[in-house]
A and B are shown apart, each in its own frame.
Chain A
Amino acid sequence: MSTTTSGTGSSAAADGGGDEGSGAYDARFRVWRGDVEGGDLEDFTVQVNDGEVVLDIIHRIQATQAPDLAVRWNCKAGKCGSCSAEINGRPRLMCMTRMSVFARDEVVTVTPLRAFPVVRDLVTDVGFNYTKAREVPSFVPPKDLGPGEYRMMQEDVDRSQEFRKCIECFLCQDTCHVVRDHEENKTAFAGPRFLMRVAELDMHPLDAAAATGLDRKATAQEEHGLGYCNITKCCTEVCPEGIHITDNALIPLKERAVDRKYDPLVWLGNKIRRRPTS
């Protein structure tokens, strides 16, 4: 992951030269500049060429007008999750937002993620997410299988594999109103990305957490704040990987928590049959 303050973009157009042929025009940008002490939106008029994305334009601004503009980026292919920002108020990856989606006379506003502490300009401190990641107990290997002996049917891992597409851009964490609009909830709530991680492990066919006394269904509710989620689906809306976070992870996890905590029939059935997992 790179945090640059100088023009190191790989785009041929980043230096301001670019293809000045058909389709080139001057766009108006407003980019938030500042740090934790304060800042404001700064206006730029910058050239846009055919096929460019917002990150190209930010790099051009950096190369031609604001060499000290801080922006975090890396792959420019929507796979590293570094260039998360808010473009016209919507959490998006700058490298995956084509300029062609905007009208030519539209002012494009780019700000840092507004749920996390700002470091400088478009760079935020996303350490909250790494802390939350460490709070989720990792995969527990089954005792009777050694490395290389794991065998799983495809249908058993399909669900978890969808969640493994996550590139950890943290756009879902940024847009989730539970922490975005309520700083005080950051202690209690893990956020959609890490509740999805809990769901992934709970659905994993070989995870042996239950054998060690770790009930992921109950801890999702009690330690990771699943109850704070009111399933308004913003995490799903902003996911650049198209993961159905709410429908395939959060709601199933809520239903699993209901099995453990709120459904007396399931509780009774498990007591009688003594079959905790199937």
Chain B
Amino acid sequence: MAANQALSNFRLHFKTLLIVLLLTTLTANFANASADDGKEFNASEVILHHVVDDHIWHFVDGHYGTLYLPVIVYSESKGFETFSSSNFYDEDHTIVPYNGYVMEHGQIHLADNPEAFVLDISITKTVLMLLITAVLILVVFLQVAKKYKNNVGKAPSGIQSFFEPIIVFVRDEVAKPNIGAHYERFMPFLLSLFFFILFGNLLGLLPGAANLTGNIAVTTVLAIFTFVITNINGNKHYWKHIFWTPGVPLPLKFIIVPVEILGVFTKPFSLLVRLFVAITAGHIVMLALICLVFIFQSYAVGVGTTIIVLFINLIELLVAAIQAYVFTMFSALYIGMATEDHH
């Protein structure tokens, strides 16, 4: 018994050690990067590079450590074109023009006409991350659904019993209290939303992963989904409340009504900003702490920040769940406000 416990304790310590080592090796890569470039170490550049979208997926330094993702661009003069993003980089990893396109700060322009509109629908780092997340969610929940089909009249088991409390939580704590009687119609959306954000947040914390839910485009689309679903299902009380707020004297209506109309848009806007900021801020904090090592160039700081980053990482795990809950909860609240029956 005691020996077993000692073994499990050892395993736990071993795991922690592994994580610490992993983080230190990652930081070591940064060190190399800054040393190789021979440039001054620019923390904000490094941090931004890790937080924003890119046409390449950088894992480790050197050519083999980078995944060059496909570029898909459309311009009026050249039509649709697909090529590897490696074409934008030469041997020294400096950005070069290719095929009449130039890439500046991740934006692709036409070389001869920088003002012309270029639609860039490349499979970027975040798009690939999005695909991975979506496929993972599909695989996981199809498995869960299969379990439900096979386990009819039986107690839940395996992956089903892991996700069932979460699904029931979303139903009983998020949907039911905020939407009310006809919550069932919105369950598929709320569950998809919740698990997409949760999986995105958690996968984004993995070393080398892309920052999916901390990308403003991703959160914008999620907020647009909530916005559309809220307003499509809005009943006449909801619209009346916006355009002719009852119980307010006529002169005040001229002030209230524009505020209400603005409120229709600020609600989803607050959603998209909150998620984007919470996740990106977490990533920036961790990266900033790691960057301290290269600013001070000291092993002592390295050990200290590694421990702090470990704890921030644990907090981020919590934030990942909280943000998924908050986004879903507010979506449910807005839907509830739009569909609520007034008696």
B and A form one assembly = no
Interface residues of A (CB under 8 A from B): none
Interface residues of B (CB under 8 A from A): none
